[in-house]
Amino acid sequence: MDSAFKLFAFFILLGITSCCAIGREQNTTETVINKRGENLFLLGNFDSFTLDAVVKKLEKSPEITRIVFTANGGSNDDSATLKLGRFIRQEKLDTHVLEGGVIASGGVSLFLAGVKRSIGKNVYIGVHSWQHCSGSGVLNCKSAKDFAHTDPAHRLHNDYIKEMLSTDSFYWFSINAAPQNSIHWLSSSEIQSFKLVNHSINENLEIPFPRAFQNEYENVCHNCPMKNR
């Protein structure tokens, strides 16, 4: 009887341990994070767990001075992504988009957090609007540009852009440039006009995950203009 009880207790403990392990696995980010010297490379979309993963990496590696974006298509947790952006600015880190890279939507927001912001050659930067949906069954969705300028719904992104660029003009441009289900790829003159880039670097950075980068690039940049592809 005692042996049977011990065996039963063992399986209960094993089940609890397995559940905890699964929970830990689920609480990991899908964003690829790779440190190379003073550079922290990011690949993929940003999710609810990207914030903690990047902050922990930065805290363990104080030598990191630059966040390097590669192919980053957006965010599925805007609040967490913008919180990470504020942390990057607080730590006075620089940001850079790798030569031949692409950033869009939330990827652009995070890039703007850099104190010094630079891009390589043949980079794509894409923006679009957001929308708010309410109701059940058939959702009632409203685009950002359909809200009055004074509506609090704008504050999440508007306040952030104003913090990073000292003006919110880029925010208003972005929400009118393309609807939520589309993308507007910025021209060189638009990038310059909104002062998204304020620095340049001469070094050639080697991407640490070329195959994964190519796959993600094709996913994010499937509708990029053909001229630089």
Question: How many Å apart are CA 146 and CA 144, to the nearest integer?
Answer: 5
For residue 33, the model assigns a pLDDT of: 98
| All structural domains of the chain | 29-129+178-228 (3.90.226.10)
**Cα→Cα distances 103→11, 17, 42, 63, 224, Å:** 48, 39, 11, 25, 11
Segment 177-186 shows an average pLDDT of 95
Residue 227: burial class (beta carbons within 10 Å; 0-12, 13-18, 19+): exposed
Over the chain, what is the mean pLDDT?
Answer: 89
For residue 216, the model assigns a pLDDT of: 97
The answer to whether 105 and 129 have CB atoms below 8 angstroms apart is no
For 144-153, what is each residue's pLDDT tens digit?
999 999 999 9
Question: Which candidate, 225, 207, 169, places its Cα nearest to that of 71?
Answer: 207
For 92-103, what is each residue's pLDDT tens digit?
999 999 999 999
